[in-house]
Amino acid sequence: MVEFSPRQRSQGQFLTCPFDRQDLDPVRDVFPDTATERKILTLAIRCPREGCEWTGELRNKEEHLTQCGTCPNNCGHSVSRETVLTHIRDECPLAVVSCPYTRVGCDTVIQRQTVEPHLQNGLNLHLNLACLKLNETIVELEETKRQLQTTRLQLDRTKEELDKTTFIWKISGFSGIFTQAIA
């Protein structure tokens, strides 16, 4: 490939061959070297951004740079490959998240940036859901208490039975020894 650098002259721009300094005719002497261009484009390169481990062909550099360091949700935050997951999990305003009232029955799934307005607008809905859930929970708690009570009574009865059994066993053991002793 012929490398060239443009040189200013009074009438306009001229090209000079770097080897013999002769003026070149831009039409006759200069042509695109597609084979070399292709070779250059397949050169392996690394991403110039610090912290980015990407390597690839020069031809894909531009495409990579449009994604490198930016959140895949296109929220505008710059993130590295290492922090992208925590960014999306904890802070990305465009990440899709569940309503914080999901456990009381709100199944709304929205972008994080609209959670605040959803909470404002859904104040009554969330309060009603929370009230229903609270009542349900109280009923369940009472039921659990009752079951615990029953289990405790059964345990006490089993203990009594066990004590009786042990007592009888002790006596019969004793009586055996006593019988032997007096024989």
Kindly tell me which of 16 and 114 has the beta carbon lying closer to Zn ion.
Answer: 114
Options 30-38, 107-115, 148-156, 162-170: segment touching Zn ion (CB under 5 A): 107-115
Options 67-75, 135-143, 157-165, 168-176: segment touching Zn ion (CB under 5 A): 67-75
Three-state DSSP at 143 gives helix
Residues 119-158 that bind Zn ion (CB under 5 A): 122
CA distance 110 to 118: 9
Residue 7: which residues within 8 A CB-CB, separation 6 or more?
13, 14, 15, 16
Three-state DSSP at 141 gives helix
CA distance 115 to 94: 11
C-beta of residue 15 within 8 angstroms of C-beta of residue 3: no
Among 108, 115, 130, 133, binds Zn ion (CB under 5 A): 108
Residues 27-66 that bind Zn ion (CB under 5 A): 47, 49, 52, 54
**DSSP character for 26?**
T
Beta partners for residue 70, in sequence order: 78
Q: How many residues bind Zn ion (CB under 5 A)?
A: 15
Kindly tell me which of 77 and 133 has the beta carbon lying closer to Zn ion.
Answer: 77
Asked if 104 is part of the footprint of Zn ion (rule: CB under 5 A), the reply reads: no
Name the site residues for Zn ion (rule: CB under 5 A): 47, 49, 52, 54, 68, 71, 73, 75, 77, 92, 99, 101, 106, 108, 122
